[in-house]
Structure 1
Amino acid sequence: MIATAALILGLSLAPQTETAVQDVPAVCRHDTAGSMDVQACADAAPKGSPVRALALINLASQAYLAGQYARALDSYDEAIPPGMAVTSDIVFHAFRGDTYFHAGRTEAAREDAGLAWRMLKGEVSAAGDPANDMPVDDQLRFEVLIRILPILKDGDAATFAAAKAQVMTLPATDGIALTNRAGLLAKLGDYPAAVADSSAALALSPNEAGVQNNHCFILYQAGRAAEGVAYCEAALATLPQAAPIRHSYARALAATGRCAEAETQIAEARRLDPSAVEYVKPLDCTTR
Protein backbone atom coordinates (compact mmCIF):
# COMPACT_ATOMS: atom_id res chain seq x y z
CA MET A 1 0.00 0.00 0.00
CA ILE A 2 1.11 3.57 -0.65
CA ALA A 3 2.63 5.33 2.34
CA THR A 4 0.66 8.28 3.65
CA ALA A 5 3.80 10.35 4.19
CA ALA A 6 4.38 10.50 0.45
CA LEU A 7 1.62 13.07 0.21
CA ILE A 8 3.74 15.84 1.66
CA LEU A 9 5.75 15.99 -1.56
CA GLY A 10 5.25 18.52 -4.29
CA LEU A 11 2.21 20.42 -3.08
CA SER A 12 1.78 23.69 -4.95
CA LEU A 13 -1.00 25.97 -3.77
CA ALA A 14 -2.02 29.04 -5.75
CA PRO A 15 -1.03 31.67 -4.90
CA GLN A 16 2.24 30.25 -3.57
CA THR A 17 3.59 31.67 -0.32
CA GLU A 18 6.80 31.35 1.64
CA THR A 19 6.50 30.03 5.18
CA ALA A 20 9.33 31.04 7.49
CA VAL A 21 10.65 28.37 9.84
CA GLN A 22 9.65 30.45 12.87
CA ASP A 23 6.05 30.53 11.58
CA VAL A 24 5.78 26.74 11.63
CA PRO A 25 4.25 25.46 14.90
CA ALA A 26 6.53 23.15 16.84
CA VAL A 27 4.03 20.28 16.53
CA CYS A 28 4.33 20.57 12.74
CA ARG A 29 8.03 19.73 12.80
CA HIS A 30 9.25 16.16 12.61
CA ASP A 31 10.76 14.76 15.79
CA THR A 32 14.11 12.96 15.96
CA ALA A 33 12.42 9.75 14.82
CA GLY A 34 11.06 11.52 11.73
CA SER A 35 7.42 11.37 12.82
CA MET A 36 4.78 14.05 13.36
CA ASP A 37 1.27 14.20 14.81
CA VAL A 38 -0.57 15.54 11.75
CA GLN A 39 -3.83 16.06 13.66
CA ALA A 40 -2.05 18.20 16.25
CA CYS A 41 -0.36 20.09 13.43
CA ALA A 42 -3.67 20.75 11.66
CA ASP A 43 -5.14 22.01 14.93
CA ALA A 44 -2.19 24.32 15.66
CA ALA A 45 -1.31 25.73 12.23
CA PRO A 46 -2.96 28.98 11.07
CA LYS A 47 -6.00 28.55 8.83
CA GLY A 48 -5.12 29.02 5.18
CA SER A 49 -1.42 28.31 5.72
CA PRO A 50 0.47 25.82 3.51
CA VAL A 51 1.56 23.95 6.64
CA ARG A 52 -2.05 23.37 7.69
CA ALA A 53 -3.01 22.37 4.15
CA LEU A 54 -0.30 19.70 4.13
CA ALA A 55 -1.44 18.38 7.50
CA LEU A 56 -5.07 18.23 6.32
CA ILE A 57 -4.05 16.42 3.14
CA ASN A 58 -2.20 13.82 5.18
CA LEU A 59 -5.27 13.44 7.42
CA ALA A 60 -7.36 13.02 4.27
CA SER A 61 -5.06 10.29 3.00
CA GLN A 62 -5.21 8.47 6.33
CA ALA A 63 -9.01 8.58 6.26
CA TYR A 64 -9.05 7.48 2.62
CA LEU A 65 -6.83 4.47 3.29
CA ALA A 66 -9.12 3.54 6.19
CA GLY A 67 -12.15 3.66 3.87
CA GLN A 68 -13.54 6.74 5.64
CA TYR A 69 -14.50 8.67 2.52
CA ALA A 70 -16.64 11.32 4.23
CA ARG A 71 -13.78 12.32 6.52
CA ALA A 72 -11.33 12.26 3.62
CA LEU A 73 -13.58 14.50 1.53
CA ASP A 74 -14.00 17.01 4.35
CA SER A 75 -10.24 17.21 4.91
CA TYR A 76 -9.48 17.59 1.20
CA ASP A 77 -12.06 20.37 0.88
CA GLU A 78 -10.74 22.18 3.94
CA ALA A 79 -7.14 21.91 2.74
CA ILE A 80 -7.88 22.98 -0.82
CA PRO A 81 -11.34 24.50 -1.39
CA PRO A 82 -13.16 23.20 -4.49
CA GLY A 83 -12.12 25.17 -7.57
CA MET A 84 -8.71 26.13 -6.19
CA ALA A 85 -5.84 25.16 -8.50
CA VAL A 86 -3.32 22.63 -7.18
CA THR A 87 -0.74 20.32 -8.70
CA SER A 88 0.70 17.86 -6.21
CA ASP A 89 2.23 14.40 -6.47
CA ILE A 90 0.72 11.42 -8.23
CA VAL A 91 -0.52 9.79 -5.01
CA PHE A 92 -2.43 12.90 -3.98
CA HIS A 93 -4.26 13.11 -7.30
CA ALA A 94 -5.06 9.38 -7.35
CA PHE A 95 -6.43 9.42 -3.80
CA ARG A 96 -8.36 12.67 -4.12
CA GLY A 97 -9.72 11.69 -7.53
CA ASP A 98 -11.06 8.43 -6.13
CA THR A 99 -12.55 10.28 -3.15
CA TYR A 100 -14.29 12.75 -5.46
CA PHE A 101 -15.58 9.91 -7.63
CA HIS A 102 -16.98 8.14 -4.57
CA ALA A 103 -18.84 11.34 -3.66
CA GLY A 104 -20.23 11.83 -7.18
CA ARG A 105 -18.00 14.78 -8.11
CA THR A 106 -17.32 13.30 -11.52
CA GLU A 107 -15.74 16.27 -13.28
CA ALA A 108 -13.34 17.00 -10.42
CA ALA A 109 -12.49 13.31 -10.24
CA ARG A 110 -11.67 13.26 -13.96
CA GLU A 111 -9.34 16.22 -13.56
CA ASP A 112 -7.37 14.45 -10.84
CA ALA A 113 -7.38 11.12 -12.69
CA GLY A 114 -6.20 12.82 -15.87
CA LEU A 115 -3.35 14.51 -14.02
CA ALA A 116 -2.33 11.22 -12.39
CA TRP A 117 -2.33 9.47 -15.79
CA ARG A 118 -0.19 12.20 -17.35
CA MET A 119 2.20 11.94 -14.40
CA LEU A 120 2.50 8.21 -15.00
CA LYS A 121 3.50 9.01 -18.56
CA GLY A 122 5.99 11.66 -17.45
CA GLU A 123 4.11 14.53 -19.07
CA VAL A 124 3.39 16.48 -15.86
CA SER A 125 5.51 16.96 -12.74
CA ALA A 126 4.48 17.65 -9.15
CA ALA A 127 4.48 21.43 -8.64
CA GLY A 128 5.87 21.74 -12.18
CA ASP A 129 9.31 20.52 -11.11
CA PRO A 130 10.62 17.06 -12.14
CA ALA A 131 12.74 17.07 -8.97
CA ASN A 132 9.49 16.57 -7.01
CA ASP A 133 8.41 13.49 -8.97
CA MET A 134 8.05 10.24 -7.04
CA PRO A 135 9.88 7.20 -8.45
CA VAL A 136 7.23 5.06 -10.16
CA ASP A 137 7.77 1.33 -9.75
CA ASP A 138 5.31 -1.42 -10.69
CA GLN A 139 3.59 -1.32 -7.29
CA LEU A 140 2.96 2.42 -7.37
CA ARG A 141 1.85 2.25 -11.01
CA PHE A 142 -0.61 -0.53 -10.12
CA GLU A 143 -1.97 1.33 -7.07
CA VAL A 144 -2.55 4.48 -9.11
CA LEU A 145 -4.10 2.73 -12.12
CA ILE A 146 -6.64 0.70 -10.15
CA ARG A 147 -7.92 3.96 -8.67
CA ILE A 148 -8.07 6.09 -11.81
CA LEU A 149 -9.25 3.54 -14.39
CA PRO A 150 -12.91 3.52 -13.28
CA ILE A 151 -12.84 7.33 -13.48
CA LEU A 152 -11.29 7.29 -16.96
CA LYS A 153 -13.73 4.68 -18.24
CA ASP A 154 -16.33 7.13 -19.57
CA GLY A 155 -13.81 9.68 -20.81
CA ASP A 156 -11.43 9.55 -23.76
CA ALA A 157 -11.54 6.01 -25.20
CA ALA A 158 -7.89 5.96 -26.26
CA THR A 159 -6.68 7.08 -22.83
CA PHE A 160 -8.82 4.46 -21.11
CA ALA A 161 -7.62 1.68 -23.44
CA ALA A 162 -3.97 2.60 -22.89
CA ALA A 163 -4.37 2.73 -19.11
CA LYS A 164 -6.25 -0.58 -18.99
CA ALA A 165 -3.67 -2.31 -21.18
CA GLN A 166 -0.95 -1.06 -18.87
CA VAL A 167 -2.53 -2.30 -15.64
CA MET A 168 -3.17 -5.76 -17.07
CA THR A 169 0.55 -6.21 -17.77
CA LEU A 170 1.50 -5.53 -14.14
CA PRO A 171 2.05 -8.44 -11.75
CA ALA A 172 -0.67 -9.28 -9.22
CA THR A 173 0.40 -12.30 -7.19
CA ASP A 174 -0.41 -11.58 -3.52
CA GLY A 175 -3.87 -11.53 -1.97
CA ILE A 176 -4.20 -7.75 -1.72
CA ALA A 177 -3.05 -7.10 -5.30
CA LEU A 178 -5.38 -9.79 -6.62
CA THR A 179 -8.38 -8.51 -4.70
CA ASN A 180 -7.67 -4.96 -5.85
CA ARG A 181 -7.44 -6.06 -9.47
CA ALA A 182 -10.61 -8.11 -9.03
CA GLY A 183 -12.41 -5.03 -7.76
CA LEU A 184 -11.15 -3.06 -10.73
CA LEU A 185 -12.25 -5.71 -13.23
CA ALA A 186 -15.71 -5.79 -11.65
CA LYS A 187 -16.00 -2.01 -11.96
CA LEU A 188 -15.09 -2.39 -15.62
CA GLY A 189 -17.76 -5.06 -16.09
CA ASP A 190 -15.51 -8.10 -16.61
CA TYR A 191 -17.19 -10.29 -13.99
CA PRO A 192 -15.75 -13.72 -14.95
CA ALA A 193 -12.20 -12.37 -14.68
CA ALA A 194 -13.10 -10.51 -11.49
CA VAL A 195 -14.47 -13.67 -9.84
CA ALA A 196 -11.36 -15.60 -10.88
CA ASP A 197 -8.99 -13.02 -9.39
CA SER A 198 -11.11 -12.67 -6.25
CA SER A 199 -11.20 -16.44 -5.74
CA ALA A 200 -7.42 -16.56 -6.06
CA ALA A 201 -7.11 -13.73 -3.53
CA LEU A 202 -9.41 -15.56 -1.12
CA ALA A 203 -7.30 -18.70 -1.37
CA LEU A 204 -4.23 -16.68 -0.37
CA SER A 205 -5.93 -14.54 2.32
CA PRO A 206 -9.03 -16.43 3.50
CA ASN A 207 -9.42 -14.51 6.77
CA GLU A 208 -8.79 -10.97 5.49
CA ALA A 209 -11.98 -8.91 5.88
CA GLY A 210 -11.25 -6.73 2.86
CA VAL A 211 -10.78 -9.78 0.66
CA GLN A 212 -13.95 -11.39 2.02
CA ASN A 213 -15.98 -8.24 1.41
CA ASN A 214 -14.61 -7.83 -2.09
CA HIS A 215 -15.50 -11.43 -2.92
CA CYS A 216 -19.02 -11.00 -1.55
CA PHE A 217 -19.67 -7.88 -3.63
CA ILE A 218 -18.14 -9.31 -6.81
CA LEU A 219 -20.28 -12.43 -6.51
CA TYR A 220 -23.31 -10.17 -6.10
CA GLN A 221 -22.32 -8.20 -9.20
CA ALA A 222 -21.83 -11.43 -11.12
CA GLY A 223 -25.38 -12.56 -10.29
CA ARG A 224 -24.26 -15.02 -7.61
CA ALA A 225 -25.35 -13.12 -4.50
CA ALA A 226 -26.45 -16.21 -2.57
CA GLU A 227 -22.86 -17.46 -2.66
CA GLY A 228 -21.57 -14.11 -1.48
CA VAL A 229 -23.66 -13.57 1.66
CA ALA A 230 -21.48 -15.75 3.90
CA TYR A 231 -18.37 -13.80 2.91
CA CYS A 232 -20.03 -10.49 3.79
CA GLU A 233 -21.07 -11.91 7.15
CA ALA A 234 -17.51 -13.06 7.87
CA ALA A 235 -16.11 -9.64 6.93
CA LEU A 236 -18.73 -7.83 9.03
CA ALA A 237 -17.85 -9.92 12.08
CA THR A 238 -14.31 -8.53 11.87
CA LEU A 239 -15.11 -4.94 10.84
CA PRO A 240 -18.66 -4.04 11.96
CA GLN A 241 -18.06 -0.29 11.48
CA ALA A 242 -16.94 -0.55 7.85
CA ALA A 243 -19.49 1.14 5.58
CA PRO A 244 -18.36 -0.70 2.41
CA ILE A 245 -19.03 -4.05 4.07
CA ARG A 246 -22.49 -2.94 5.22
CA HIS A 247 -23.19 -1.80 1.65
CA SER A 248 -22.01 -5.08 0.11
CA TYR A 249 -24.06 -7.07 2.60
CA ALA A 250 -27.16 -4.96 1.90
CA ARG A 251 -26.89 -5.52 -1.86
CA ALA A 252 -26.32 -9.24 -1.46
CA LEU A 253 -29.24 -9.57 0.97
CA ALA A 254 -31.52 -7.60 -1.34
CA ALA A 255 -30.59 -9.79 -4.28
CA THR A 256 -31.59 -12.87 -2.30
CA GLY A 257 -34.95 -11.43 -1.20
CA ARG A 258 -34.06 -10.64 2.41
CA CYS A 259 -35.45 -7.12 2.12
CA ALA A 260 -35.92 -6.04 5.75
CA GLU A 261 -32.38 -7.12 6.65
CA ALA A 262 -31.06 -5.41 3.55
CA GLU A 263 -32.71 -2.10 4.46
CA THR A 264 -31.19 -2.27 7.94
CA GLN A 265 -27.72 -2.78 6.50
CA ILE A 266 -27.95 -0.04 3.87
CA ALA A 267 -29.23 2.42 6.48
CA GLU A 268 -26.17 1.69 8.60
CA ALA A 269 -23.86 2.09 5.58
CA ARG A 270 -25.42 5.50 4.87
CA ARG A 271 -24.99 6.52 8.51
CA LEU A 272 -21.34 5.48 8.54
CA ASP A 273 -20.53 7.18 5.23
CA PRO A 274 -23.04 9.87 4.24
CA SER A 275 -20.80 11.05 1.37
CA ALA A 276 -21.19 7.90 -0.75
CA VAL A 277 -23.52 8.43 -3.71
CA GLU A 278 -23.58 4.68 -4.32
CA TYR A 279 -25.18 4.07 -0.93
CA VAL A 280 -28.03 6.49 -1.70
CA LYS A 281 -29.26 4.32 -4.56
CA PRO A 282 -32.40 2.40 -3.57
CA LEU A 283 -32.24 -1.34 -3.07
CA ASP A 284 -33.91 -3.48 -5.70
CA CYS A 285 -35.51 -6.13 -3.54
CA THR A 286 -38.54 -8.40 -3.68
CA THR A 287 -39.26 -10.56 -0.63
CA ARG A 288 -39.13 -14.25 -1.45
Structure 2
Amino acid sequence: MRILTATVFSLCLAWPAMAAAPDPDDACASGYAALDAGDGETAAGLLEQCLSENEQTPEAEVHTYAALASAYLAGEHYPEALSAFNMAFAIADTQHAEIADPTLWRNRGIARLQLGQLDGALSDLQHAAGEMPDDVLTYLNMGFAYQQMERPADAVVSYDAIVRLEPDWMGAWLNRSSALLDAGMTGAAVADARRAVEMEPENGSSLNMLCWTLIQDGRADTALPLCEEAAAIEPDTGAIIHSQATALEAVGRLDEALPLYQRAHQLSPDDPQITADFERTRHP
Protein backbone atom coordinates (compact mmCIF):
# COMPACT_ATOMS: atom_id res chain seq x y z
CA MET A 1 0.00 0.00 0.00
CA ARG A 2 1.37 3.37 -1.00
CA ILE A 3 -0.73 6.27 0.22
CA LEU A 4 0.02 9.50 -1.58
CA THR A 5 -0.31 12.89 0.02
CA ALA A 6 -0.21 15.18 -2.98
CA THR A 7 -2.64 18.05 -2.60
CA VAL A 8 -2.97 21.58 -3.91
CA PHE A 9 -5.94 22.47 -1.77
CA SER A 10 -5.79 24.74 1.28
CA LEU A 11 -6.51 23.23 4.68
CA CYS A 12 -7.76 26.48 6.17
CA LEU A 13 -11.28 27.77 6.42
CA ALA A 14 -11.99 30.51 3.92
CA TRP A 15 -12.35 33.85 5.67
CA PRO A 16 -13.54 37.03 3.91
CA ALA A 17 -10.70 39.39 3.12
CA MET A 18 -10.75 42.54 5.21
CA ALA A 19 -11.52 45.77 3.40
CA ALA A 20 -9.05 47.74 5.48
CA ALA A 21 -6.11 47.06 7.77
CA PRO A 22 -7.31 45.88 11.18
CA ASP A 23 -6.85 47.89 14.35
CA PRO A 24 -3.48 46.67 15.71
CA ASP A 25 -4.94 46.75 19.22
CA ASP A 26 -7.78 44.41 18.23
CA ALA A 27 -6.41 40.88 18.61
CA CYS A 28 -9.55 39.32 17.15
CA ALA A 29 -9.53 41.36 13.93
CA SER A 30 -5.77 41.04 13.60
CA GLY A 31 -5.98 37.28 14.11
CA TYR A 32 -8.57 36.87 11.38
CA ALA A 33 -6.50 39.09 9.08
CA ALA A 34 -3.39 36.97 9.69
CA LEU A 35 -5.36 33.81 8.98
CA ASP A 36 -6.73 35.32 5.79
CA ALA A 37 -3.16 36.19 4.78
CA GLY A 38 -2.02 32.61 5.35
CA ASP A 39 0.10 33.37 8.43
CA GLY A 40 -1.12 30.60 10.71
CA GLU A 41 1.51 31.02 13.42
CA THR A 42 0.71 34.71 13.94
CA ALA A 43 -3.02 34.05 13.67
CA ALA A 44 -2.91 31.38 16.36
CA GLY A 45 -1.26 33.67 18.88
CA LEU A 46 -3.63 36.54 18.19
CA LEU A 47 -6.74 34.35 18.30
CA GLU A 48 -5.65 32.84 21.62
CA GLN A 49 -5.32 36.40 22.90
CA CYS A 50 -8.71 37.27 21.44
CA LEU A 51 -10.38 34.41 23.31
CA SER A 52 -8.69 35.26 26.59
CA GLU A 53 -9.47 38.98 26.51
CA ASN A 54 -13.00 39.13 25.10
CA GLU A 55 -16.46 38.02 26.13
CA GLN A 56 -18.16 36.63 23.04
CA THR A 57 -21.56 35.27 22.15
CA PRO A 58 -21.61 31.47 21.79
CA GLU A 59 -21.82 31.80 17.99
CA ALA A 60 -18.85 34.16 17.90
CA GLU A 61 -16.87 31.96 20.27
CA VAL A 62 -17.50 28.91 18.08
CA HIS A 63 -16.31 30.91 15.09
CA THR A 64 -13.16 32.06 16.87
CA TYR A 65 -12.25 28.59 18.10
CA ALA A 66 -12.80 27.27 14.59
CA ALA A 67 -10.48 29.95 13.22
CA LEU A 68 -7.89 29.13 15.88
CA ALA A 69 -8.12 25.43 15.01
CA SER A 70 -7.66 26.19 11.33
CA ALA A 71 -4.59 28.30 12.12
CA TYR A 72 -3.08 25.38 14.03
CA LEU A 73 -4.05 22.97 11.26
CA ALA A 74 -2.34 25.10 8.64
CA GLY A 75 0.81 25.00 10.77
CA GLU A 76 0.53 21.21 11.14
CA HIS A 77 0.06 21.49 14.91
CA TYR A 78 -2.48 18.69 14.92
CA PRO A 79 -3.06 18.09 18.67
CA GLU A 80 -3.65 21.81 19.22
CA ALA A 81 -5.91 21.97 16.18
CA LEU A 82 -8.02 19.04 17.37
CA SER A 83 -8.33 20.52 20.86
CA ALA A 84 -9.59 23.81 19.43
CA PHE A 85 -12.01 22.08 17.07
CA ASN A 86 -13.36 20.00 19.95
CA MET A 87 -13.87 23.16 21.97
CA ALA A 88 -15.83 24.74 19.12
CA PHE A 89 -18.09 21.71 18.88
CA ALA A 90 -18.49 21.52 22.67
CA ILE A 91 -19.59 25.16 22.86
CA ALA A 92 -22.01 24.64 20.01
CA ASP A 93 -23.48 21.59 21.75
CA THR A 94 -23.79 23.04 25.24
CA GLN A 95 -24.78 26.58 24.25
CA HIS A 96 -27.03 25.57 21.35
CA ALA A 97 -24.93 27.55 18.90
CA GLU A 98 -25.14 26.65 15.24
CA ILE A 99 -22.29 25.02 13.32
CA ALA A 100 -22.97 26.96 10.16
CA ASP A 101 -19.82 26.02 8.22
CA PRO A 102 -19.47 22.32 7.27
CA THR A 103 -15.75 22.77 6.70
CA LEU A 104 -15.41 22.47 10.48
CA TRP A 105 -16.32 18.80 10.16
CA ARG A 106 -13.87 18.31 7.31
CA ASN A 107 -11.01 20.10 9.03
CA ARG A 108 -11.53 18.29 12.33
CA GLY A 109 -11.54 15.07 10.34
CA ILE A 110 -8.18 16.02 8.85
CA ALA A 111 -6.74 16.71 12.30
CA ARG A 112 -8.05 13.38 13.58
CA LEU A 113 -6.65 11.58 10.55
CA GLN A 114 -3.20 13.06 11.12
CA LEU A 115 -3.34 11.86 14.72
CA GLY A 116 -4.34 8.33 13.74
CA GLN A 117 -7.92 8.58 15.02
CA LEU A 118 -9.27 6.85 11.94
CA ASP A 119 -12.84 6.08 13.04
CA GLY A 120 -13.44 9.62 14.28
CA ALA A 121 -11.79 11.09 11.21
CA LEU A 122 -13.96 9.05 8.87
CA SER A 123 -17.12 10.01 10.75
CA ASP A 124 -16.29 13.71 10.45
CA LEU A 125 -15.31 13.44 6.80
CA GLN A 126 -18.46 11.52 5.90
CA HIS A 127 -20.54 14.23 7.58
CA ALA A 128 -18.66 16.89 5.60
CA ALA A 129 -19.16 15.00 2.34
CA GLY A 130 -22.89 14.89 2.98
CA GLU A 131 -23.01 18.67 3.24
CA MET A 132 -20.29 19.45 0.67
CA PRO A 133 -20.66 16.85 -2.09
CA ASP A 134 -18.24 18.70 -4.38
CA ASP A 135 -15.41 19.29 -1.88
CA VAL A 136 -12.24 17.68 -3.21
CA LEU A 137 -10.28 17.98 0.03
CA THR A 138 -12.94 16.01 1.89
CA TYR A 139 -12.81 13.12 -0.61
CA LEU A 140 -9.02 13.19 -0.66
CA ASN A 141 -8.78 12.70 3.08
CA MET A 142 -11.58 10.14 3.07
CA GLY A 143 -9.51 8.18 0.58
CA PHE A 144 -6.44 8.41 2.82
CA ALA A 145 -8.52 7.21 5.79
CA TYR A 146 -10.00 4.27 3.89
CA GLN A 147 -6.55 3.19 2.68
CA GLN A 148 -5.14 3.28 6.19
CA MET A 149 -8.15 1.25 7.35
CA GLU A 150 -7.41 -1.27 4.56
CA ARG A 151 -10.69 -0.57 2.80
CA PRO A 152 -9.35 -0.07 -0.74
CA ALA A 153 -12.71 -0.39 -2.53
CA ASP A 154 -14.09 2.51 -0.49
CA ALA A 155 -10.90 4.47 -1.17
CA VAL A 156 -11.42 3.93 -4.91
CA VAL A 157 -14.92 5.38 -4.61
CA SER A 158 -13.57 8.47 -2.83
CA TYR A 159 -10.89 9.00 -5.45
CA ASP A 160 -13.43 8.42 -8.22
CA ALA A 161 -15.21 11.51 -6.95
CA ILE A 162 -11.99 13.53 -7.20
CA VAL A 163 -11.35 12.34 -10.76
CA ARG A 164 -14.87 13.50 -11.60
CA LEU A 165 -14.42 16.88 -9.90
CA GLU A 166 -10.79 17.60 -10.87
CA PRO A 167 -9.93 15.52 -13.95
CA ASP A 168 -7.04 17.83 -14.85
CA TRP A 169 -5.30 17.35 -11.49
CA MET A 170 -2.58 14.72 -11.67
CA GLY A 171 -3.01 13.85 -7.99
CA ALA A 172 -6.53 12.58 -8.63
CA TRP A 173 -5.23 9.89 -10.97
CA LEU A 174 -2.22 9.02 -8.80
CA ASN A 175 -4.30 8.48 -5.69
CA ARG A 176 -6.89 6.39 -7.51
CA SER A 177 -4.07 4.34 -9.02
CA SER A 178 -2.75 3.64 -5.52
CA ALA A 179 -6.17 2.52 -4.27
CA LEU A 180 -6.82 0.40 -7.36
CA LEU A 181 -3.52 -1.35 -6.77
CA ASP A 182 -4.50 -2.04 -3.15
CA ALA A 183 -7.79 -3.46 -4.42
CA GLY A 184 -5.98 -5.88 -6.73
CA MET A 185 -7.08 -4.07 -9.90
CA THR A 186 -3.56 -3.85 -11.28
CA GLY A 187 -4.45 -3.18 -14.91
CA ALA A 188 -6.67 -0.25 -13.97
CA ALA A 189 -3.95 1.03 -11.62
CA VAL A 190 -1.43 1.01 -14.48
CA ALA A 191 -3.88 2.89 -16.71
CA ASP A 192 -4.41 5.63 -14.11
CA ALA A 193 -0.69 5.95 -13.47
CA ARG A 194 -0.05 6.20 -17.22
CA ARG A 195 -2.65 8.99 -17.42
CA ALA A 196 -0.82 10.87 -14.64
CA VAL A 197 2.48 10.57 -16.53
CA GLU A 198 0.82 11.85 -19.70
CA MET A 199 -0.32 14.89 -17.74
CA GLU A 200 3.07 15.55 -16.07
CA PRO A 201 5.77 13.51 -17.81
CA GLU A 202 8.63 15.03 -15.80
CA ASN A 203 7.05 14.56 -12.39
CA GLY A 204 8.88 12.11 -10.15
CA SER A 205 5.73 11.00 -8.34
CA SER A 206 3.83 10.18 -11.51
CA LEU A 207 6.79 8.31 -13.04
CA ASN A 208 7.27 6.39 -9.81
CA MET A 209 3.62 5.34 -9.63
CA LEU A 210 3.71 4.03 -13.19
CA CYS A 211 6.97 2.26 -12.41
CA TRP A 212 5.52 0.68 -9.27
CA THR A 213 2.26 -0.44 -10.87
CA LEU A 214 4.14 -2.01 -13.78
CA ILE A 215 6.34 -3.93 -11.32
CA GLN A 216 3.21 -5.24 -9.60
CA ASP A 217 1.86 -6.19 -13.03
CA GLY A 218 4.92 -8.34 -13.70
CA ARG A 219 6.51 -5.94 -16.17
CA ALA A 220 9.70 -4.96 -14.37
CA ASP A 221 11.67 -4.67 -17.64
CA THR A 222 9.27 -1.96 -18.78
CA ALA A 223 9.19 -0.38 -15.34
CA LEU A 224 12.93 -0.03 -14.77
CA PRO A 225 13.62 2.91 -17.14
CA LEU A 226 10.72 4.79 -15.57
CA CYS A 227 12.07 4.05 -12.09
CA GLU A 228 15.48 5.33 -13.10
CA GLU A 229 13.99 8.49 -14.57
CA ALA A 230 11.98 9.12 -11.40
CA ALA A 231 15.09 8.59 -9.25
CA ALA A 232 17.05 11.06 -11.36
CA ILE A 233 14.35 13.68 -10.72
CA GLU A 234 13.90 12.92 -6.99
CA PRO A 235 17.06 11.19 -5.75
CA ASP A 236 16.22 11.76 -2.08
CA THR A 237 12.73 10.23 -1.97
CA GLY A 238 12.72 6.87 -0.23
CA ALA A 239 9.72 5.41 -2.05
CA ILE A 240 11.23 6.23 -5.44
CA ILE A 241 14.61 4.69 -4.62
CA HIS A 242 12.80 1.63 -3.25
CA SER A 243 10.86 1.24 -6.50
CA GLN A 244 14.10 1.36 -8.47
CA ALA A 245 15.64 -1.29 -6.20
CA THR A 246 12.57 -3.50 -6.55
CA ALA A 247 12.69 -3.27 -10.34
CA LEU A 248 16.39 -4.09 -10.40
CA GLU A 249 15.86 -7.13 -8.19
CA ALA A 250 12.94 -8.27 -10.35
CA VAL A 251 15.09 -8.24 -13.50
CA GLY A 252 17.85 -10.22 -11.77
CA ARG A 253 20.23 -7.36 -10.90
CA LEU A 254 20.24 -7.87 -7.13
CA ASP A 255 23.81 -6.62 -6.65
CA GLU A 256 22.72 -3.23 -7.97
CA ALA A 257 19.52 -3.30 -5.95
CA LEU A 258 21.14 -3.91 -2.54
CA PRO A 259 22.69 -0.45 -2.02
CA LEU A 260 19.45 1.13 -3.20
CA TYR A 261 17.42 -0.81 -0.65
CA GLN A 262 19.82 0.49 1.99
CA ARG A 263 19.56 4.04 0.66
CA ALA A 264 15.75 3.88 0.61
CA HIS A 265 15.75 2.73 4.23
CA GLN A 266 18.05 5.58 5.21
CA LEU A 267 15.67 8.05 3.55
CA SER A 268 12.43 6.50 4.89
CA PRO A 269 13.23 4.41 7.97
CA ASP A 270 9.62 4.43 9.19
CA ASP A 271 8.13 2.96 6.00
CA PRO A 272 7.22 -0.67 6.82
CA GLN A 273 7.53 -1.96 3.26
CA ILE A 274 10.91 -0.31 2.73
CA THR A 275 12.11 -1.62 6.09
CA ALA A 276 10.92 -5.15 5.32
CA ASP A 277 12.77 -5.23 1.99
CA PHE A 278 15.91 -3.77 3.56
CA GLU A 279 15.87 -6.42 6.29
CA ARG A 280 15.15 -9.16 3.75
CA THR A 281 18.07 -8.24 1.51
CA ARG A 282 20.70 -6.96 3.92
CA HIS A 283 22.24 -10.44 4.30
CA PRO A 284 21.63 -12.10 0.94
TM-score above 0.5: yes
Matches within 5 A, 1:59-208: 59-60=75-76, 75-77=77-79, 88-91=104-107, 93-94=109-110, 97=113, 99=114, 108-122=117-131, 135-137=132-134, 139-140=136-137, 142-154=139-151, 164-165=156-157, 167-168=159-160, 171=164, 173-174=167-168, 176=170, 177-208=172-203
TM-score when normalising by structure 1:
0.60
Q: Is the 8 A contact 2:105 2:124 kept in 1?
A: no
1:30 aligns with 2:46: no
- Quote the offset at 1:77 in angstroms: 4.8
Instruction: Flag the 1:120–1:273 CA change in 2: closer, same or farther, 3 A.
Output: same
> In structure 1, what is the Cα distance between the partners aligned to 2:37 and 2:250?
47
Shift in Å, 1:231: 1.6
Which residue in 1 is equivalent to 2:73? 57
Q: CA deviation at 1:207?
A: 1.6
Residue in structure 1 matching 2:9, options 3, 13, 17: 3
Q: Please, what is the CA RMSD of the aligned residues? A: 4.3
User: Structure 1 stretches of 5 or more lacking a match?
Assistant: 10-20, 61-74, 123-134
Deviations 1:136-174 (A, max 9, x none): 41644542443233234459xxxx65x645654652643
Q: CA deviation at 1:8?
A: 4.7
SS in 2 for 1:7: coil
CA contact (8 A) 2:27 2:46 kept: no
Shift of 1:286: 11
Partner amino acid for 1:174? D
- Quick check: 2:118–2:149 contact (8 Å CA) kept in 1? no
Q: Between 250-259 and 199-208, report the one with greater CA deviation.
A: 250-259
Aligned positions, number: 234
Aligned-partner Cα distance in 2 for 1:45–1:278: 42
Task: Tell me: CA distance 1:94–1:218, structure 2 relative to 1, closer, same or farther (3 Å).
Answer: farther
The answer to whether structure 1 residue 254 and structure 2 residue 249 are counterparts is yes
| Separation in structure 1 between the aligned mates of residue 215 and residue 168 of structure 2, nearest angstrom | 23
Greater C-alpha radius of gyration:
2
For 2:257 and 2:267, the matched residues in 1 are separated by: 15
Rounded to whole Å, the distance in 2 between the matches of 1:44 and 1:270 is: 41
What CA distance in whole angstroms lies between the structure 2 residues aligned with 1:52 and 1:269? 38
Q: Percent identity?
A: 22
36-45 or 140-149: bigger deviation: 36-45
- What's the offset of the Cα at 1:178? 2.1
Secondary structure of the residue aligned to 1:282 is: helix
**Closer, same or farther: CA 243–285 of 1 in aligned 2, 3 Å:** closer
